[in-house]
Amino acid sequence: MEVGLKPSTIKRTKSGKIDIKSGNKIDLVIKWTIWILTILTILAFFFFNYMGLQLERAVTETLHNLRVMFFEPTLNHFSWGEAFYQVGVTLGLGILATILGAIIAFFLALMAAENLSKSWLSKTVRIFVAFIRAVPTVLWVLIFAIAAGLGSEAAVLGMLFHSVAYLVKAFSEAFEEVDPGILEALKATGSNWWHTVVHGIIPSTFTYLLSWTFLRFEINFSVAVAMGAAAGAGGIGFELFMASGFYYDLREVGLITYLILIIAIILEFISTRLKDRYFPSTVKN
């Protein structure tokens, strides 16, 4: 069988002809899963309650609201200075959770990496962070909001928990991909465990650690926007909640949305520049 071809099932029919069927059981399960989900999605539309729905009016009002929101943006309930301050608060929440999370995750990842730690310790750390990672960030924030009260502390702690679990997995996998020859050479020269980490692991994985940390910061910024109102953390997310749910000011919602999009585009631009600088071969390919 040629490399790259899908596994095939070869059967000989009664007439002597060879019947070749491509694919395997995994492909069959995936196809049936997609078909079942598609059918269930279509059937769901037949069980909706359409009473009182005026489609023409709904479409007209939706288009009007979108026009007001995105073509007439303005601030009515706070100034531009306050707007930029709230954006700074949201960025601050994301930065704080990311930096603290990266520092904690680095040391836990050293214990989680199989080539740097004992097997029982590595498995224990991996199971622990897998449990934390399985719980959504929003839920962690709400848990800490109940335990510590509404405020920025709950938002940072919730994002910190999930950031640590996320980065431990990413960092430990990067550590395990380090060339074993480098570690063996350092050990042969009498280097201890910490010397091996400093002079072998960190130089070989620094660019990956930086890339994963910045990716997590982008995620934390989005979460900080959403948690601005849910956890009472403030920031531009809280202003968006007030404009949409309390004032119902579509123009202000549009402007806040533009501010968030601008920040997201800037972060994406910085991320791309980092990739161009530290991963030029990957970008070219």
pLDDT tens string 111-161: 998 888 888 888 999 999 998 888 888 888 888 878 777 777 888 888 898
- Cα separation, 183 vs 194, in Å, equals 11
Q: What is the pLDDT of residue 1?
A: 44
On whether the CB atoms of residues 75 and 84 are closer than 8 A, the answer is: no
Angle between helices 152-176 and 119-134 (to 10 degrees): 140
- Cα separation, 107 vs 118, in Å, equals 14
Q: What is the pLDDT of residue 183?
A: 82
Instruction: Please state the separation of Cα 151 from the chain's center in Å.
Output: 23
Cα angle: 174, vertex 175, 178; to 5 degrees: 95
pTM of the model: 0.73
Q: What is the pLDDT of residue 33?
A: 93
Positions in the chain short of pLDDT 70: 1-23, 231-232, 275, 278-285
On whether the CB atoms of residues 165 and 129 are closer than 8 A, the answer is: yes
* Most distant pair of Cα atoms in the chain: their distance: 83
E strand or H helix at 19: strand 18-22
- Cα separation, 65 vs 59, in Å, equals 10
- Cα separation, 253 vs 247, in Å, equals 10
Q: What does the DSSP 8-state code read for residue 200?
A: I
